[in-house]
Chain A
Amino acid sequence: MLNSYTRNLCGWLAGLLAALNGAIASDVLPPADAATSRCLVCHETQHPAAVNGLRQSRHAGLVTAPAPFAASGCTGCHGDSEAHMRPPATGQLRAAADETFRSNSLAEISRRNDRCLACHQSESARHWSGSRHDLGNVACNDCHRIHAATDPVMARESENAVCFSCHQQQRTDSLKPYTHPLQQGEMTCSACHNPHGSFNTASLHGSQPTETCYRCHAEKRGPFLWEHPPVREDCAVCHQAHGSVHVGMLKQRGPWLCQQCHLSQYHPSTAYSGTGLPPTPSSSVVGKNCLNCHAQIHGSNHPSGIRQIR
């Protein structure tokens, strides 16, 4: 008789094997149409993961012309590749396909992207030309995986990892204590940014810097009777959107953040110091510091709210 630990372990292993079997079995999908059969003579066995991944992808469902995959299968993206199809001479390597999507010269990157943009220009990549990624010589398949059942950058749980592989500063910020829930998978980079380009700075979705933030933080939008000008101008004046070590993703701890603009009489014209700490705390330094009084800092609709204090 097996003890309970062994039985549990066997159960877990059986479940794991069943899961793996399911994953593998679901890869064995029917081949694409006849246009690809010539390529599959070799690649079916040499690159089974890539072939099966493509078969489960959205591209494989495009069985109607003028979709390149429907019209000519693999050669729709990789080119006719006549030289690649011919057997190599003795002692020589087989010629590469016309388009391997692997070269690194700038001209090659542009040509690679043209393959994709031939179909996708009018959709999500409408603003690609001249975008930050375009000018940075980023190729479409630097981010996208075509030969995969699920393109990682198109899946919510894996999109941020693809972006962070290049944007290390933003990744670092996202690991700070106060941040948007990027690491938790509750928010993606594309919630704010359009990687294919936009009219806004940093490829933000909104037409103005604040408009992107207002999409989720509509309570800060106003209109207010008494506005705090940075709220209307750019949230990034005070906030560090990718993450900060300060509460509220502020760029600096209060009251010193506020004092970068506000140095006035009685609210001392010199920066606050540590003298306001307990046991004789100053309400300008502890708690919510400036916001102890100016609680409606994003704007006030109170008739007497000119200082955002109510």
Chain B
Amino acid sequence: MKAKEAGVMLTLRVVALLAAYGSCLPVISAAEPDAQESATDETPRGDLAVGFGYFSDDMLGYGRYAGPESAGFFPVLDLELHQSMHRDDAIPAYWYLYARDLGLHSREAGAEWAVQGSSRLTLDYDETIRSTGIGAQSPFTGNSYFRLPESWQAGANTAAMTALSDSLHDVRLETTRRKLALGFSWRASEQWRFSGEYLREQKRGQRSFAGVVGSTGGNSRAVMLPEPIDYLTDNIRLSAAHDGVGVRGSKFVPSDCHLSA
């Protein structure tokens, strides 16, 4: 793998971020509230941000955790919406919806429903990209299984690897995490509380690692290689608390991905 010359190298750092938060309007906002209404107003309220941004050039720094954002326009889409509800027995409840940065590669969304002081349910999704921003090339091909091409000519150095130049292709050194979390909490009585969370996280992508291809006089010769990443982690946490008892479990499953010659 050798460094790509220009690629996503940052040349001009001028960002014309034309965030068009023109429609930060109160969504579904009904008529202006009656000043004599009590706090039991149940009108859903929130904000919706729709617009666009513009990058005048490739944004390596911005894209490190936001995605490989290149020059040009990108959408802006955020949402927050909530509603308080007061049921007949007057126990207040609410629900809450949110979505942030839906126009970028790193984004999140979720929902929450709760009876205040009693129980709560949550659902969250989060996607985060981590890009090294390094333009790279490699002869290895494949998705989960990286292999050298069939026409590969082995050699003690790159000069002897006659098929190297023809087999090089672009490699994106970036990983993406996707998390899905479900949670609950329940206050069963003044003393007892129960809560739990299930979290599934997937991490996929490629990163670089080094491999030794030979040694001369005890001084090893190493090359940088792309390594496929494909992890899946399940986390479960349950707790029953009178004054603090809980159990927690976690299962990590690396997929059968590898690199071989």
Contact = CB atoms under 8 A, between A and B. Distances in A.
B156 to A, nearest CB: 15
B58 interface: no
Given A184-B66, A215-B235, A22 B32 contact: no
B231 A219 contact: yes
B225 to A, nearest CB: 9
B9 interface: no
Nearest to B25: A22
B34 A30 contact: yes
Q: Chain B contact residues: over half helix, strand or loop, or mixed?
A: strand
B14 interface: no
B21 A19 contact: yes
Interface string B199-210: 001010000111
A18 B210 contact: no
B39 A266 contact: no
B35 A30 contact: yes
A218 B249 CA distance: 12
Contact of B22 (A15, A32, A283, A292): A15
A26 B25 CA distance: 10
Contact of A30 (B23, B39, B211): B39
A19 B23 contact: yes
Interface string A283-298: 1100110011101000
Interface in B175-189: 177
Contacts of B209: 288, 291, 295
B130 to A, nearest CB: 8
Contact of B26 (A25, A60, A219): A25
Contacts of B91: 64
Given A22-B29, A25-B29, A55 B222 contact: no
Interface in B47-85: 47, 64-66, 84
A283 B220 contact: yes
Given A30-B36, A293-B222, A61 B25 contact: no
Q: Chain A contact residues: over half helix, strand or loop, or mixed?
A: loop
Given A26-B45, A184-B64, A293 B38 contact: no
Contacts of A295: 209-211
A33 B38 contact: yes
A63 B36 contact: no
A284 B221 CA distance: 10
B128 A218 contact: no
Contacts of A135: none
A243 to B, nearest CB: 13
B116 interface: yes
Contacts of B261: none
A11 B64 CA distance: 33
A216 B91 CA distance: 37
Interface residues of B, number: 58
A55 B39 contact: yes
Contact of A64 (B33, B65, B92): B92
A215 to B, nearest CB: 7
Interface string B100-138: 100000101000000011000000000010100000000
Contacts of B32: 25, 28
A221 interface: yes
Given A61-B116, A218-B250, A32 B90 contact: no
Interface string A4-46: 0000000110111011001101101111110000000000000
B154 interface: no
A28 B38 CA distance: 12
A12 B19 CA distance: 11
Contact of A16 (B22, B86, B108): B22
A33 B38 CA distance: 6
Contact of B193 (A122, A214, A284, A291): A122
Contacts of B47: 22
A282 B219 CA distance: 7
B41 interface: yes
A181 interface: yes
Contacts of B177: 216
Given A15-B22, A63-B40, A283-B219, A218 B233 contact: yes
A181 B128 contact: yes
Interface of A: 11-12, 14-16, 18-19, 22-23, 25-26, 28-33, 55-56, 58, 60-64, 67, 122-123, 126, 156-157, 181, 184, 186, 214-216, 218-219, 221, 266, 282-284, 287-288, 291-293, 295, 309
Interface of B: 20-26, 29, 32-41, 45, 47, 64-66, 84, 86, 90-92, 94, 100, 106, 108, 116-117, 128, 130, 177, 193, 201, 203, 208-212, 218-222, 224, 231, 233, 235, 244, 250, 252, 254
11 contacts: A22-B25, A26-B45, A29-B41, A33-B38, A55-B39, A61-B84, A64-B91, A186-B106, A218-B201, A219-B252, A288-B210
Given A11-B22, A15-B20, 19 more contacts: A19-B22, A22-B47, A28-B35, A30-B36, A30-B37, A58-B116, A61-B39, A62-B117, A63-B39, A63-B40, A122-B193, A181-B64, A181-B128, A184-B66, A218-B231, A282-B219, A284-B219, A288-B222, A293-B220
